Structure 1
């Protein structure tokens, strides 16, 4: 097997193992030993592919950040169709899946990890900052189509939506909120920013 493919496969196995540990026991129990035990490999395997454990964790977080491209493309394609509230509700539910919530908790709990991620996320909380940019771009696109009021500020609405979504989904051990709960929160944040009142009705 070519070296590049082998390395990619090892990285993916280690990332998947780390995510399982995060979901099962949370960020505080995530260690290099826990990851390699979960992956069923020697501890040295991780250190052969990453400079140190923080490098591994930073790579894991950046992998999740890169996955936001798919959410961004899907949300951009939805601009002008459906309803703004429904489009944002669906996106928040996708963004705050169990693994993503666990990764956000990991970033929030480790100062060294956040410092490492400053190379690519200079401000804010990595992953949430990039997710905010995805929503801001969508709201700006809807504003250009006249579905969001001209006087509304997408750069204020977007972080408010992300903060609200994070609060709704933050308890990784609890029951995730249902679609209608998330939708009501979205509508509450949008308020009068939606030009057409019927755009906040379920399509």
Structure 2
């Protein structure tokens, strides 16, 4: 790229490029050179905006966490609409999109990245997802759509763990069958949905 050409929203351009590399080649292929090559910018561009590659990765994850916060607000607002299972299936499908699954693997295996992101324990993305589901299930419990004594934290953990296994255990670029995800969600919720009627 010629010197002196102004790049519009360089961070977004680099984050989008990183997402494409993750989708196409997986977490192991995500390097600063791969990102800048994919973004079609000089390698120095990344280092002008970030102190090092782990700083870039940390901001990439923080960008994903901002999106997750928006998703959490939408899910919370959905309490009382559709069915509880339908709301959760939609939320889990969006949560475990291929880029988020790849980022979760990256966070798990990069100690320096985990250290930079550590805010209070747990694995970033999955920790925030747990809080999102817990808040949503609490709202549904308050509306009487699940049992009044439902242990929402345990339900959230079960949903996150099972969904992560379903989404992460796939060949890159593929999603679990909708029926499989639906069966998992309804199985986890079966007791609290049934007991709300008693």
Q: TM-score surpassing 0.5?
A: yes
Aligned in 2, Cα 1:152/1:87: closer, same or farther, shift over 3 Å?
same
**1:47-105: CA deviations, max 9, x gaps?**
11011110000000000000012211221121112111111011111111111111111
Separation in 2 of the partners of 1:52 and 1:124?
Answer: 24
**TM-score (normalizing by structure 2):** 0.90
Q: CA deviation at 1:178?
A: 2.4
Question: What SS is found at the alignment partner of 1:69?
Answer: helix
- Distance in 1 (CA, whole Å) between partners of 2:36 and 2:176 is 33
Bigger shift: residues 171-180 or 85-94 = 171-180
Contact 2:26 2:172 in 1 (8 A): no
How far 1:182 moved relative to its partner?
A: 0.8
Superposition deviation, residue 191 in structure 1:
2.4
Contact 2:101 2:167 in 1 (8 A): yes
CA-CA distance at 1:175 after TM superposition: 3.2
State how many pairs are aligned: 191
Q: In the superposition, relative to structure 1, how do residues 81 and 106 fare at CA in structure 2: closer, same or farther (>3 Å)?
A: same
Residue aligned with 1:76, SS: helix
- CA offsets, 1:139-159, max 9 Å, x none? 000010111112211111111
> Which among 152, 155, 161 is matched to residue 153 of structure 2?
155
Moved over 6 A (4+): none
Residue 127 in 1 paired to residue 129 in 2?
no
Q: Is the 8 A contact 2:18 2:35 kept in 1?
A: yes
| 1:76 equivalenced with 2:76 (yes/no) | yes
In 2: Cα distance, 1:36 partner to 1:101 partner: 22
TM-score (norm 1): 0.88
Higher mean C-alpha deviation, range 54-63 or range 178-187: 178-187
What is the root-mean-square deviation of aligned Cα atoms in Å?
1.8
Cα 1:86–1:178 change in 2 (3 A) is same
Q: Which runs of 5+ in 1 are unaligned?
A: 1-5, 199-203
